[in-house]
Amino acid sequence: NAGVTQTPKFRVLKTGQSMTLLCAQDMNHEYMYWYRQDPGMGLRLIHYSVGEGTTAKGEVPDGYNVSRLKKQNFLLGLESAAPSQTSVYFCASSYYPDTQYFGPGTRLTVL
Partner 1 sequence: AQSVAQPEDQVNVAEGNPLTVKCTYSVSGNPYLFWYVQYPNRGLQFLLKYITGDNLVKGSYGFEAEFNKSQTSFHLKKPSALVSDSALYFCAVRAFAGGYQKVTFGTGTKLQVIP
In the complex with partner 1, which residue's Cβ is closer, 22 or 43? Answer: 43
What is the C-alpha to C-alpha distance for residues 66 and 14, in angstroms, rounded to an integer?
21
Q: Does 66 bind partner 1 (CB under 8 A)?
A: no
> SS3 of 83, please?
helix
In the complex with partner 1, which residue's Cβ is closer, 19 or 50? Answer: 50
Stretch that binds partner 1, among 18-26, 63-71, 72-80, 100-108 (CB under 8 A): 100-108
Q: Are 103 and 92 in contact (CB under 8 A)?
A: yes
What contacts 99, CB < 8 A, 6 or more positions away?
A: none
Which residues sit at the interface with partner 1, rule CB under 8 A?
A: 4, 35, 40-43, 45, 50, 90, 92, 96-105
